[in-house]
Amino acid sequence: MSAIDSLFQQLRSTGRKALMPFVTAGDPDLDFTAEVIRQVVARGSHLCELGIPYSDPIADGPVIQASYTRALDKGVKLAAILEMLGRLTPEVPAPIVTMVSYAIIYRHGLEQYVAAAKAAGVAGAIVPDLPVEEAGPLAAICRREDFGLIQLVTPTTPRDRALRIVEQATGFVYYVSVTGITGERTELPPEIVDNVAWLRSRTQLPICIGFGISRPEHVRMLAPVADGLIVGSAIVRRISEAATRPREQVLREIGDYVAELLAATETATGG
C-alpha cells in the first residue's frame, strides 16, 4: 500500500478530508519552497502538490503561469528539485506528489522518472497532459512501482471517457471543479456536487477537487462530497510576496491561511 493509499484509508476511517496545498518548485527559490512545504504540513496539511515548472503549462492560470516563469528564469531544473525533495521528504510526514507535464516525464524516460521521483521520496505524479489513450505504459510502471498516477476528470469529460480515466488512475482522481484555467474564484458551480457524487459511484479511488478553491465557504461546500481539496493559486499568490516582504511573515500568513481552510473542513464534516 502506497503512502497515498495509507493516508486516505486513515482519513476515511475517521471521516476527515485531506487538504492539499499546491506550491511551485523554485519560486522564489528551492530553499523557500522547502520552507513553505514544512510550514503547511506543520499547520496540518495532509499532502502537498509540487508544481514542476514548465514553459507551456496546461490549464494553469496567470498566477501559476507567472510562478513557473519566475522559476524557469532562475534556472530551476528537475534534478535540483528532486535533490531538494530527497533532503526534505524524510522530515515531512505527508506525501508529496508532483504536478508534472508528460513532456518532462517522456524526455526524462518513463522508468527513469518514476525511479528518480521515488528515490527522492515522491509518492506520485499528477500528469495533466497525458491522454487516457496514451497512459497505458506509464500507468503500468506506476502500478508496478506503487507510485500514484493521478489523472484529471473535468466537467466536460464525457462519462464513458471519465470511466476509462479512473480505471488507469492510482492514488486518487483529480476532479477539476470548473471549466477553464486555475485561479481563485468567488463562487464555484453548484453542479460540482452532483458530478462528484456520480464519479464516486463509479470508483473506489479517493476524489480530490481542485481549481478555484480559495475560501472557507468553498471548502464547506465541497468537503462533504470530496476526499480532498486542492488549493493552488491562492497559496502561490501569497508565496510571490516573498520577493518583496519578509519571508518569515509570508510563511506565517500562509500557515494561518492553511489553518483557516483546515478548520473549514472540520466544520463541514463535523470533526
Indicate which residues carry an active-site annotation: 49, 60
98 near 48, Cβ under 8 Å?
no
Residue whose C-alpha cell reads 493559486 in the numeric block:
233
Exposed / middle / buried, residue 156 (Cβ in 10 Å: 0-12, 13-18, 19+): exposed
229 near 18, Cβ under 8 Å?
yes
Sign of CA dihedral 149, 151, 88, 91: negative
Which residues on neighbouring strands pair with residue 174, listed in sequence order?
152, 208
52 near 103, Cβ under 8 Å?
no
* Residues with Cβ within 8 Å of residue 261, at least 6 apart in sequence: 19, 216, 219, 229, 231
**SS3 of 22, please?**
strand
Of 240, 171, 238, 184, the residue nearest 210 (C-alpha): 184
Residue 46 CB coordination number (10 Å):
23
Of 211, 209, 206, the residue nearest 222 (C-alpha): 209
